[in-house]
Structure formats: C-alpha cells, structure tokens
C-alpha cells in the first residue's frame, strides 16, 4: 500500500486537487471518499468532474437524495453518495455492483458505509484540521492506483 497526504487551505484548493486527479484519470477507476460532513468530498468531486472535462455550467452536487449522479465529460463520471443509504436494497435497485465492476469512473462518497462490501479502489480520506484547512490522505493498493497516486503527487 502507498499513501500520500495532500493539504488544502481552501475550497478552491480542494477542488484544484480534484481537477488535477481528473485530468490524469482514466477508466476503470473507483474512488472511495470518506470524511465528516463539510470535509470537502463534494468540492473535490466538483474539481474531479472539471478535470474530466464536464462542462463548467454543469452543476456538480452531492447526490444525497438521488444516490447517484451521472456527469458526461471526456470520460463519464458516476457519483454515488451513501450518506442516506437505507440499505443495500437501495443500491441494488440502481445497479451499484454493475457500475463498480465496470470500466467506468465511479466515485463513492461516504464509502465507509459500504464497509464489508469488498470495494477496492483509490481511498481518499478528508480530515478537517482548522476552519478552512484539510488534510486529504490518498491510499492506493493496486499497481494502477499506486502509479496514479505517484503521478498526482509529482504534479501537485
């Protein structure tokens, strides 16, 4: 496993990190985001979407009530939010397993709520340090994800 910690002192900095990752990301990819409310997960995904060339006028928001949003860009992005997950039946109904096991780019906010589901991907944990400061720890286990993390660390 390889880990790298990035630091952000503003929402714009968090979004910029996501944008840099999106610019070098290619499918298949599974990003597992963890962190408290307001830690910057959706802000990061907004940047990721922009890095994947999702149109600037396309609002990127948390799919808390819809469970999943789909954004079209250079590569399609499937953005899940498990915060209000009532049970695995909710995810089964929308074909969650099919997305995760596909050649798509899938981001899962509140991935810790899927503990035990055997999800493996780039783990990104957001921690509030101070009012606008965050540490963003990225962990990778597969060779592809380690190479991606190393490239992100060099370009940041």
Share of the chain above pLDDT 70, in %: 96
What pLDDT score does 84 carry?
Answer: 79
pLDDT tens column, 80-118: 998 877 666 667 777 888 888 888 999 999 988 777 677
Q: What is the 3-state secondary structure (H, E, C) of 32-96?
A: EEEECCCCCHHHHHHHHHHHCCCCCCCCCCCCCCCCEEEECCCCCEEEEECCCCCCHHHHHHCCH
What pLDDT score does 29 carry?
Answer: 96
Enter the pTM of the model: 0.93
Average pLDDT value for the chain? 90
Domain ranges (residues) in the chain: 2-155
What pLDDT score does 88 carry?
Answer: 67
Class of domain 2-155: alpha beta
Cis peptide bond upstream of 28, omega within 30: yes
């Amino acid at each position: 496993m390889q880990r790298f910690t990035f630091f952000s002192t503003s929402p714009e900095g968090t979004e910029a990190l996501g944008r840099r990752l999106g610019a070098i990301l290619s499918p298949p990819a599974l990003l597992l985001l963890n962190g408290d409310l307001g830690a910057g997960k959706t802000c990061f995904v907004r940047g990721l979407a922009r890095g994947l060339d999702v149109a600037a006028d396309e609002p990127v928001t948390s799919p808390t009530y819809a469970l999943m949003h789909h954004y079209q860009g250079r590569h399609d992005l499937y953005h899940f939010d498990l915060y209000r997950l009532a049970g695995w039946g909710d995810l089964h109904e929308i074909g969650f397993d099919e997305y995760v096991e596909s050649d798509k780019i899938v981001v899962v906010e509140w991935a810790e709520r899927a503990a035990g589901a055997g999800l493996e991907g780039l783990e990104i944990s957001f921690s509030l340090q101070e009012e606008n400061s965050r540490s963003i720890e990225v962990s990778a286990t597969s060779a592809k994800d380690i190479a991606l993390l190393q490239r992100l660390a060099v370009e940041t």
